[in-house]
Structure 1
Amino acid sequence: MASTTAEQIVEKVGGPGNISSLTHCATRLRFELKDAGLVDQSALEKIPGVLGAVPQSGDRYQVVIGGAVASVYADITNLPSVKGAKPAASDADIKAAERAKARGKVAWLDAFFEYLSNSFRPLLGVLLGSSLIIAIAAVLDALHIVPFQGVDRLTAAGATWVFWDSMWRSVLYFLPIMVAYNASKALKVDPWIGASIMAALFTPEFLSLSEAADTVCTTNATLGTDQCVAQIFGLPMQLNGYGGQVFVPLIMVAVLAQLYKLLQKIFPDNLQMVFVPFFCLLIMVPVTGFIIGPISMWLGTGLGAGLAWLNNTVPLLFAVLIPMIYPFLVPLGLHWPLNALMLANISSAATGHQDFIQGPMGTWNFACFGATAGVLVVASRVKDNEVRQTAIGALAAGLLGGISEPSLYGIHLRYKRIYPRMLIGCAVGGLTIGILGWLFGTVKTGAFAFTSLLTIPVFSPMWVYAISIAAAFVTAMLLVIASDYRTAEQKAEFEQAQADLALAEAPAAAAPAAAPAAGGVATLVATRTVGAPVAGTVVPLAEVNDKVFASKALGDGVGIVPSDGHVTAPVAGTLVTVADTGHAFGIKTDDGVEVLVHVGIDTVQMEGKGFQLDVAKDQRVEAGDLLAKVDLEAVKEAGFDTTTIVVVINTLSLKSVQPVAAGDVSLGDTVIDVEV
């Protein structure tokens, strides 16, 4: 039987033989399975360390782990059973195989978003690291310690702090080369070819073209920037600064992939190593410089200008729209195009190298984290340790790293009551940043910042951003605390699980010793029967209106439609569970038979109204002792089924458990025969 987290995951996805390939991203294991129908999703999500399980199109499956994903991935790939199976493939292999299958009406759309995701996802770590470096710089500038924002920065800040700036600008400036590398891998192109083509536009030689004798430059009076056109082979080439541009490598690699595959067909295997890279560079560097580069710049500028127009024309609508759509984009991985636009804004002189999308986006993130904080408070109050631990980890990842996936997959998508409350937090945060931004200036940033507590200083006006994210956080948190994150059914399920757990874990020693027989030697009276805890009409367990009990997942037994409100002990033993609401009792007999009496269905929602307890936990009872009195009419008026269920929890560990009664029974009549 599987014991470690890795072994349990492999088992629940259908075993090692069902895994075609496996890779991972920042928070998720990504499986390509032979048959996704073999996955036991419910059991998978209950594995300690698993935050959620997400089926994808075809036979792809994602298992959300969070920050420990790399170690879990390593554990799985090192399992002997998995090593003997098909080797784990790369993300690119998985996606390429999926595209080849072309399943579903929107397979091309899935492939497009996977391409974007695979191009950016491996860079999240360095983007986060660089955003923290610029956050430190922003704090120093805000405190007037080091003037990072001055025009003559080398003179004002000094060489040391200019060098500090280079540590984060390296990531942003050379981002197109990094994106080209990842995008090439995603499309099964030699990634070094893609990176080399993009790098050609960053060489000193290319940058010096603006100073060539036959290059003509004009100044844009509005932006204060120069636009130069060089003559290359007698043809005009528009020169651009490609630092930080992401649309250029994305489009370039998409074209390169077609050329690369064509060249692989033309040249035999023994010549491909030389001639495929040669012709790729020879063709794609000019194509990128003459066509793809300028077109991509126009595209990025146009999209950015469109959003800027919306932000400038109806800023309140824009400020609310962004945080309201993000909760639906992120779980589907559809937020990457907006992320690309943020990077394009930062790199564009037209926007003053400032992005205006991340401010409103931050209010969604903090509404998400606020909802998680609310869940943490409620889970701590009701002592749901599993959810509490998940919430603590998710909240730490969010507030310190700006990562929302642990909150979304670990909690929010499991408990559907959270989303409406989180959306209200998004709306409040969006309205706040929209109104304050209209009055005091739009919130902007010059860095691609993960919206966490640590990156608040990179936004300006910082106080507007801080107030807005605080409003989103507090609103979502208070709404979740006030209304709970669980439905009535989920509350009842949790209460039942707690009762079952207490009963199952109760030590046999909890029961007092049996009375000594003649001669002073203690004897243990074996439990042979379970009596009716209520008078009424017996119904088969399979017919009760509760799927869990009806499935016999909690043990075999019977249901009784009560005719009287007196509830008595069906066996002699110790009360190891007594629900505060008076609706459930767990009794453990001297010889280890575990019996659960559950009065009514979903009656935990009555919160004890109509129930009068006569016993307490750990109390010794004899068969027939009164446990509680129930107002059956009150239960019916509240809309609940009064059927009382009596089951033997440890049925599987006993020799025999047989329901024997039918029809009407009185208190104490035998309803179940037991053989220990």
Structure 2
Amino acid sequence: MATSPASEIINSLGGAGNVASLTHCATRLRFQLHDASGVDKEAVEAIPGVMGAVPQAGERYQVVIGGGVQTVYNDILALPAMKGGGGGGDGDDAASIKARERAKGPRGKVAWLDTLFEFLSDSFRPILGALLGASFFITFMALLATLDVIPDWNAPGVTLEPSWAFVNLMWQCVFVFLPLMVAYNASQKIGADPWVGFSIMAVVMLPGFAALGNADTAQQISFLGSDITTVPIFGIPLTIFDYSSQVFPPLLMAAVLGPLWKLLKKIIPDNLHLIFVPFFAMLIMIPLTAFLIGPIGVYLGAGLAQVLASINTFSPFIFAIVIPLAYPFMVPLGLHWPINAIMLLNIQTLGYDFIQGPMGAWNFACFGATAGVLLLAWREKDKDMKQTATGALAAGLLGGISEPSLYGIHLRFKRIYPRMLVGCFVGGLTIGVGSLLLGLPNGITTQAFVFTSLLTIPAFEPIGLYAIAVGLAFATAMVLVVISGYKPKEQPAEAEPSEYENAPAAAGAAAAGAASVPAGGVLISSPLDGTVVPLSTVPDPVFAGGTMGPGFAIEPSGDTVYAPGPGLIAAAQPTGHAFGLVLDGGVELLIHVGIDTVNLKGEGFDVKVKNGDRVKTGDPLVVFDRAVIEKAGYPLITPVIVLNADDFGTIDDAAEGPVKAGDELITVTSKQAAAAEPSA
């Protein structure tokens, strides 16, 4: 398919506004439409790349694409008109990878914990661009200070000339007002008016709030070992803090504002919401934030920062190794967000941060693994992976962003992780040993919150040790990935496990050398116990009409699907409802367990194989629960389709009637053998 039919498909279905949701299975797009009555079936089927269209009850509509369904699905979701639309698929897109990885840890199992980290993530994610931009300004200033062009720009008491002071404001605008940005995002995430949350936090950041500490009635007291300023407000002591760059106070404020907002909307009549819900929310939350929530947030952040500082003080060597080894597991689960907040707090309170240096070892090990994948992709002429790895590596080395590498490559190919962890260890070990030799009590530090990329290396001190550490982390991970490869050993270099379209042919080539057909043809056995019936009896027009290719169907009497011949698993759907195999000899086979069983989302299916597995005749592929499928009302009839019939000569008709798994049913012969057969 030279061009994707994505936009044509959406237009033929009545436009993006008519699409309520979209999912996909192994071969087809599954639309839930608002109104399917006006869809022209013939027009849909006339679109290049569409193999068929299947109207269904309940405003559901299926568009058959075949092996490239994942690509078309992604292209549809990428259409501007489809932003926010679509459901989930069976593929390896970033969202499904994240969901699977989170399910392995506490997220996905403990509801409140999942909600907490989603709250933290969505409070920071929208402002990452601003933070990244500010980090480049910081790096620029650090580089100029290193070159003695300007004085130490971030040291106490240093005054810059107006020109450089103005440049300094370009990053301070982000970090000084960071609490307001976090307050807006967190309030929006929690379901309250984000501008009300912004306004509540803005009160404690006003110059007039700080000026209250200069009043004649202000007092200096000692609390938890710190000297703080309080001033009585209507007889109640108000603690005066500098809330610039603080992130825990706005997070706590939003966490309280959300339930309050919902309560106010319940007790105040609908026609008065616009006026009184914001008023009473501000009336309650401004004093509560200034007197209680704000100070609690300051002390909470300081306490967490002190715990990490104590660990680092006790042993910078251990700290430098543990941090880079922990991050590869924290980032997929979203557990790194609280650490980012502590980094900002360290800079606010200590004037420097000691976490980002060791974290850089993880980031560069991650980027090094991606570089290794890119080198292999160039060598193997894998166009898709070259594009993926190039983009991910650019985002990492230039922007310090690890997510494209992590979700686009590393979590899809599990061989990468052990190699990347070695890079993390080498980088962390270098920092730890270097800190001991150089007598650095806090290890590698930075005076600003930056993204650990090539461009921000000058922001770290000592720059030489940091550059050596991240360089070794990068090189170690890259070399190990290049030496060992990143795909399963059985999986050929040309195959993409998430792209069903490409996997069969490549896998077949690996399985049978040049995909040559044996002299006697390729024998295909029954994958099930049951009764063989014609394909035309399948209650699905796509299979019944032979749109996907010739084959047969089985009404199963058992509960297990077995491999119908030796070969490779090209596509094992995690839902268990469909399997693509490439048998020795190059025959691409689709086994579809039941009709519409993808809607069960894996319930009742126990999958026994994965992409790239080598199987022999009779190996179990999946065990299914007949009761679950029958209770849901889905037919159990299982089509077995030869997808690449055009590449071969003759394909026998399967003998109808009872059959046992492993019984030989059909033979697929080569075109040469078919041509040599005498005509009747």
Q: If the TM-score is normalised by the length of the shorter chain, which range does it land in?
A: 0.5 to 0.7
Q: Which residue of 2 aligns with 1:164?
A: 167
Q: 1:213 to 1:498 in 2, by over 3 A?
A: closer
Q: Which residue of 1 aligns with 2:146?
A: 142
Structure 2 distance, partners of 1:461, 1:290, is: 41
8 Å CA contact 2:650–2:669 kept in 1: the answer is no
Q: Which residue of 1 aligns with 2:288?
A: 287
8 Å CA contact 1:656–1:674 kept in 2: the answer is no
User: Which residue of the other structure, out of 24, 28, 32, is the alignment partner of 1:12?
Assistant: 24
Secondary structure of 1:414's counterpart equals: coil
Deviations 1:304-359 (A, max 9, x none): 000000011021221111111111111222211111111121222xxx22111111
Q: Which residue of 1 aligns with 2:71?
A: 47
Secondary structure of 1:489's counterpart equals: coil
Deviations 1:161-217 (A, max 9, x none): 111111111111111111010011001101111100100011121010111001113
Q: Which deviates further from its counterpart, 434-443 or 661-670?
A: 661-670
Q: Which residue of 2 aligns with 1:581?
A: none
Q: Which residue of 1 aligns with 2:405?
A: 407
Secondary structure of 2:191's counterpart equals: coil
Structure 2 distance, partners of 1:476, 1:123, is: 30
The alpha carbon displacement at 1:467 in A equals: 1.1
Secondary structure of 1:238's counterpart equals: strand
1:183 matches 2:186: yes
Matches within 5 A, 1:612-623: none
8 Å CA contact 1:659–1:672 kept in 2: the answer is no
Q: 1:292 to 1:73 in 2, by over 3 A?
A: farther
Deviations 1:5-34 (A, max 9, x none): 676995638645289xxxxxxxxxxxxxx9
The alpha carbon displacement at 1:500 in A equals: 3.4
Q: Which residue of 1 aligns with 2:206?
A: 203
1:372 matches 2:378: no
User: Which residue of the other structure, out of 107, 112, 116, is the alignment partner of 2:116?
Assistant: 112
Structure 1 residue identity aligned to 2:116: F
Structure 2 residue identity aligned to 1:17: Q
8 Å CA contact 1:141–1:149 kept in 2: the answer is no
User: Which residue of the other structure, out of 127, 149, 158, is the alignment partner of 1:153?
Assistant: 158
Structure 1 distance, partners of 2:114, 2:678, is: 56
Relative contact order (alpha carbons < 8 A, sep ≥ 6): 1 or 2 greater?
2
8 Å CA contact 2:567–2:616 kept in 1: the answer is no
Structure 1 residue identity aligned to 2:71: I
Matches within 5 A, 1:209-358: 209-217=212-220, 227-348=228-349, 352-358=350-356
The alpha carbon displacement at 1:234 in A equals: 1.0
Deviations 1:137-166 (A, max 9, x none): 111111000112454433xx2011111111
The alpha carbon displacement at 1:544 in A equals: 1.3
Q: Which deviates further from its counterpart, 538-547 or 315-324?
A: 538-547
Structure 2 distance, partners of 1:167, 1:673, is: 80
Q: 1:669 to 1:376 in 2, by over 3 A?
A: closer
Tell me, which stretches of 5 or more residues in structure 2 are unaligned?
11-20, 35-57, 87-94, 100-106, 510-515, 528-563, 572-577, 589-613, 619-640, 655-663
TM-score, normalisation: structure 1: 0.66
Structure 2 distance, partners of 1:366, 1:104, is: 29
8 Å CA contact 1:658–1:672 kept in 2: the answer is no
Structure 1 distance, partners of 2:170, 2:375, is: 39
Q: 1:423 to 1:149 in 2, by over 3 A?
A: same
TM-score, normalisation: structure 2: 0.65
Q: 1:170 to 1:369 in 2, by over 3 A?
A: same
8 Å CA contact 1:378–1:481 kept in 2: the answer is yes
Q: Which residue of 2 aligns with 1:516?
A: none
Structure 1 distance, partners of 2:666, 2:126, is: 66
Q: Which residue of 2 aligns with 1:607?
A: none
Q: Which residue of 1 aligns with 2:127?
A: 123
Structure 1 residue identity aligned to 2:158: R
Tell me, which stretches of 5 or more residues in structure 1 are unaligned?
20-33, 51-64, 83-90, 96-102, 505-530, 560-583, 585-595, 599-638
8 Å CA contact 2:138–2:448 kept in 1: the answer is yes
Secondary structure of 1:229's counterpart equals: strand
Structure 1 distance, partners of 2:668, 2:112, is: 64
1:444 matches 2:445: yes
Structure 2 distance, partners of 1:126, 1:420, is: 33
8 Å CA contact 2:491–2:507 kept in 1: the answer is no
Q: Which residue of 1 aligns with 2:417?
A: 419
Matches within 5 A, 1:451-600: 451-491=452-492, 494=495, 500=505, 533-534=518-519, 540=525, 543-548=564-569, 596=586
Structure 1 residue identity aligned to 2:24: K
8 Å CA contact 2:508–2:587 kept in 1: the answer is no
Q: 1:452 to 1:537 in 2, by over 3 A?
A: closer
Structure 1 distance, partners of 2:676, 2:231, is: 93
8 Å CA contact 2:649–2:673 kept in 1: the answer is no
Structure 2 residue identity aligned to 1:651: A
The number of equivalent residue pairs is: 508
Structure 1 distance, partners of 2:417, 2:580, is: 31
Structure 1 distance, partners of 2:201, 2:669, is: 85
Q: Which residue of 2 aligns with 1:622?
A: none
Structure 2 distance, partners of 1:552, 1:295, is: 55
Deviations 1:489-525 (A, max 9, x none): 1127739958937999xxxxxxxxxxxxxxxxxxxxx
Secondary structure of 1:425's counterpart equals: helix
The alpha carbon displacement at 1:649 in A equals: 7.4
Q: 1:336 to 1:502 in 2, by over 3 A?
A: closer
Structure 2 distance, partners of 1:113, 1:460, is: 31
Secondary structure of 2:338's counterpart equals: helix
Structure 1 distance, partners of 2:665, 2:284, is: 85
Secondary structure of 1:403's counterpart equals: coil
Structure 1 distance, partners of 2:669, 2:206, is: 92
User: Looking at CA atoms only, which structure, 1 or 2, has the larger radius of gyration?
Assistant: 1
Q: 1:669 to 1:378 in 2, by over 3 A?
A: closer
Q: Which residue of 1 aligns with 2:82?
A: 76
The alpha carbon displacement at 1:383 in A equals: 1.6
Structure 2 distance, partners of 1:659, 1:493, is: 33
Structure 1 distance, partners of 2:63, 2:241, is: 50
Structure 2 distance, partners of 1:432, 1:374, is: 21
Q: Which residue of 1 aligns with 2:531?
A: none
Structure 1 distance, partners of 2:361, 2:277, is: 48
Q: 1:545 to 1:674 in 2, by over 3 A?
A: farther
Q: 1:354 to 1:73 in 2, by over 3 A?
A: farther
Secondary structure of 2:401's counterpart equals: coil
8 Å CA contact 1:532–1:669 kept in 2: the answer is no
Structure 2 distance, partners of 1:16, 1:131, is: 43
Structure 1 distance, partners of 2:678, 2:644, is: 11
The alpha carbon displacement at 1:665 in A equals: 14
Structure 2 residue identity aligned to 1:391: A
Q: 1:664 to 1:340 in 2, by over 3 A?
A: closer
Identity of aligned residues (%): 46
Structure 2 residue identity aligned to 1:12: H
User: Which residue of the other structure, out of 431, 434, 451, is the alignment partner of 1:433?
Assistant: 431
Structure 2 distance, partners of 1:663, 1:192, is: 68
Structure 2 residue identity aligned to 1:196: S
CA RMSD in angstroms, aligned pairs only: 4.6
8 Å CA contact 2:649–2:669 kept in 1: the answer is no
The alpha carbon displacement at 1:376 in A equals: 0.9
Q: Which residue of 2 aligns with 1:658?
A: 652
Structure 2 distance, partners of 1:410, 1:418, is: 12
8 Å CA contact 2:504–2:580 kept in 1: the answer is no
Structure 2 distance, partners of 1:664, 1:392, is: 44
